[in-house]
């Protein structure tokens, strides 16, 4: 059983081998969280395989972490140092609750939009429930809240956070902004998993120009793929 830290919340349990992952449950979104947890290993098997191949004692950045499915999986099964970024307030709160439920000292989460700039902004959201996708940073709509934007280059060059070895980017069409603001960081990363919309793949060539090669690509739906790229300049794969 997890130790509850300074709050009381319901949770779901997902066994992985001899380990347990606890997912915080907001009663209003119980069905979504349960379904997402149950599909942890099957929804994107390529992502699970990618994480399973992480080298020990690595640093993993989960950009667009949502409720932290892969954040928690990596932190618990691989015991890497994990930094998760999720600008949607409700999803971030659920992620934070799950980190506390699992008593993870190797995992930190930030309610931040990773982009090409630094400053205050807003995020347009479909609704205020955790787990919602297709949010748009930099725009106000019927539902929105303020957020902070940071570029990867800013965070690493100022030594606010350590250089990541592995980077996952799933930010609902905002991937090009993350790439634009993280080129110096990508140069030193081992591997990147990034969501790609087939209508806008220009940023893949930007990553490849840094010495990355396309290891594999996996179809998510009619318009989106997951690309996994490996840095040929990193000899310690």
For the entire predicted model, the pTM comes to 0.91
User: Is the pLDDT at 102 greater than 70, yes or no?
Assistant: yes
pLDDT band at 6 (very low <50, low <70, confident <90, very high): very low
d(CA 128, CA 88) in angstroms, rounded, equals 8
For the stretch 178-217, pLDDT in tens is 999 999 999 999 999 999 987 778 899 999 999 999 999 9
pLDDT band at 118 (very low <50, low <70, confident <90, very high): very high
Say if strands 166-169 and 191-197 run parallel, antiparallel, or are unpaired: parallel
The DSSP-derived string for 106-117 is SEEEE-EEEESS
User: Is the pLDDT at 138 greater than 90, yes or no?
Assistant: no
Q: Which domains are present in the chain?
A: 10-191 (3.40.50)
Place of tokens 């980190």: 99
User: Is the pLDDT at 173 greater than 60, yes or no?
Assistant: yes
pLDDT at res. 127: 56
The mean pLDDT of 166-183, rounded to a whole number, is 94
What's the token pair of residue 91? 């999803």
């Amino acid at each position: 059983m997890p130790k509850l830290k300074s709050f009381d919340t319901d949770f779901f349990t997902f066994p992985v081998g001899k380990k347990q992952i606890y997912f915080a449950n907001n009663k209003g979104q119980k069905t979504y969280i349960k379904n997402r947890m149950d599909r942890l290993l099957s929804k994107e098997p390529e992502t699970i395989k990618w994480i399973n191949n992480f080298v020990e004692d690595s640093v993993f950045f989960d950009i667009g972490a949502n409720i932290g499915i892969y954040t928690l999986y990596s932190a618990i099964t691989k015991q890497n140092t994990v930094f998760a970024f999720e600008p949607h307030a409700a999803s971030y709160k659920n992620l934070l609750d799950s980190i506390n439920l699992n008593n993870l000292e190797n995992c930190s989460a930030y309610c931040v939009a990773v982009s090409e700039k630094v400053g205050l902004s807003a995020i347009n959201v479909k609704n205020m429930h955790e787990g919602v996708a297709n949010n748009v940073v930099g725009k106000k709509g019927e539902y929105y809240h303020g957020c902070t934007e940071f570029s990867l280059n800013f965070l690493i060059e100022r030594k606010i956070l350590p250089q990541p070895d592995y980077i996952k980017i799933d930010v609902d069409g905002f991937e090009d902004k993350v790439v634009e603001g993280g080129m110096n960081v990508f140069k030193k990363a081992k591997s990147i998993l990034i969501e790609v919309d087939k209508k806008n793949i220009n940023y893949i060539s930007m990553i490849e120009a840094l010495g990355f090669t396309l290891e594999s690509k996996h179809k998510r739906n009619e318009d989106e793929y997951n690309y996994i790229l490996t840095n040929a300049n990193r000899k310690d794969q």
